[in-house]
Structure 1
């Protein structure tokens, strides 16, 4: 279990993490989400003792990371897949880590096999692709067979097959009763991987909830309608007091049922090419709840073109 209590980190006049409290429980995959600059990596570094908190605490199994005698046997982490010495082979790197924590050498080949790197175990890590480096980082995290695991953007550089593999891998680790915390910017992937979400923005906790509750909290069911008489239909819907916006050539109507839109169109003899419902996705919920906490906002394509490149 990971317990974060009142965690705060300031760098000069900048507050990177602001009084954050949450618990990561065993047996489920917990997704750690937030816009760029939200404080995710800083929080994970404080959990692992790489950054000292300005105030508050982060405990792993009831203890701060720095007090762990054999840390690899308690917690495994993948924060930077490219931190390995480029001239070491994958096997040599893991042997060095095993020796530093009193682990048997036999464990090295076990984790290499587990992550699918047996055939390249003797090759220099500096020549690995990002996807292979991610797998080596996973092997290092698993080396001590820890009960607590932290992964920062573990699917970076993986192809679709690799992403599916790591999704199943995370689920299998959690099913063994391990505590699994995964940071990722791929929201569609988190929707299929995580059971629970910790969401932060500008260093502050925004949500600590299940994926379903997070989506429901920001959910706005809408009716999607396409018509060659879109302008006339929009006017009719607006007259009724419905909120209408356009997206990709379709009208999105909030606060109304499919039947009502269909009956209104029929009463005006308007032809419809599409009439369907749509619920919010994890991406929709994330953007709605963290939109004000994004550090930098980009301009739309039209704005960029108007202003010049």
Structure 2
């Protein structure tokens, strides 16, 4: 388990993290989200003892990182895939890590096989692609078979097959009862990987909930409906006080999007008025939509719209 309590980090007048409190329980993948500059990397560095908090605590299995004996046996982390010495082979790098924490050398070959690098174990890490470096970093995180794991952007540089592999791998680690905290900018991937989300903005906690709770609370759930009697259907639905708008994305023909209702209610309203329906589908909000709505005010840097940049040429 990871326990963050009142964690604060100031760099001079800059408040990178401010009174942050959350818990990462074992047995599930917890996504750690926030806009650029939100304080995610700083928080992870404080959890791992790489930065000293201005105030507050970050505990791993009830202890600070500095109090852990042979810390790789308790917590594994992948923060920077390219920190390995470029002239050191993958195997030599992991053997050095194992020796520093009293881990048997035989474990090195186990983790290399586990992450799919056994065939390149003797090659220098400097020649690795970013995806291969990510796998080597993952092997290092797993070296001590720790109960707690932290990953910062673990799918960077991976192809679709590699992304699917690491998603299932992290979920398997969590299913074994481990604590897994994952930071990523790929929101669609987080929606498929994580069960729980901790979302921060400008160093402060925005949300601590399940993925579905976060989406339901922060995005719009609607019903998409098509009918050859669309005008009549619109009139029936608006007379019931529902918000109805045109679906400009419909490729199959004119459609409506209904806010604040259910497929059952719309189906009954159509049936009782003799209206034929060609499509009736619930549409749930996405993690991207919910994330943008909740964190829009906490984005550190905003870009101009395309039309503004192109002088209206588009």
Q: Answer yes or no: same fold by TM over 0.5.
A: yes
Q: TM-score, normalised by structure 1?
A: 0.88
Tell me what 1:8 maps to: 8
Q: 1:116 to 1:204 in 2, by over 3 A?
A: same
2:293 to 272, 288, 303: 288
1:301 aligns with 2:306: yes
Which SS does the other structure have where 1:306 is aligned?
coil
**CA shift for structure 1 position 228:** 11
Q: 1:64 to 1:167 in 2, by over 3 A?
A: same
Counterpart-to-counterpart distance in 1, 2:59 and 2:265: 54
Tell me what 2:135 maps to: 135
1:51 aligns with 2:51: yes
Tell me what 1:115 maps to: 115
C-alpha RMSD of the superposition: 2.9
Counterpart-to-counterpart distance in 2, 1:25 and 1:299: 40
Q: 1:229 to 1:88 in 2, by over 3 A?
A: farther
Tell me what 2:208 maps to: 208
Say which is worse superposed, 38-47 or 295-304, in terms of deviation.
295-304
Task: Show the 5 A alignment for 1:130-209.
Answer: 130-209=130-209
**CA shift for structure 1 position 302:** 2.3
Task: Show the 5 A alignment for 1:230-269.
Answer: 243=243, 248-249=248-249, 252-256=257-261
Say which is worse superposed, 239-248 or 205-214, in terms of deviation.
239-248
Counterpart-to-counterpart distance in 2, 1:271 and 1:19: 56
Q: 1:52 to 1:114 in 2, by over 3 A?
A: same
Tell me what 1:125 maps to: 125
Contact 2:307–2:313 (CA under 8 A) maintained in structure 1: no
CA deviation profile, 1:168-193 (whole Å, cap 9, x unmatched): 11111112111111111111111111
- The count of corresponding residues between Structure 1 and Structure 2 is 309
**CA shift for structure 1 position 306:** 2.0
Which SS does the other structure have where 2:138 is aligned?
helix
Tell me what 2:253 maps to: none
Q: 1:307 to 1:235 in 2, by over 3 A?
A: farther
Q: TM-score, normalised by structure 2?
A: 0.86
CA deviation profile, 1:121-161 (whole Å, cap 9, x unmatched): 01110111111000000000011111111000101111111
Q: Which runs of 5+ in 1 are unaligned?
A: none
1:24 aligns with 2:34: no
Q: Which runs of 5+ in 2 are unaligned?
A: 251-255
Q: 1:99 to 1:38 in 2, by over 3 A?
A: same
Counterpart-to-counterpart distance in 1, 2:70 and 2:45: 18
**CA shift for structure 1 position 75:** 0.6
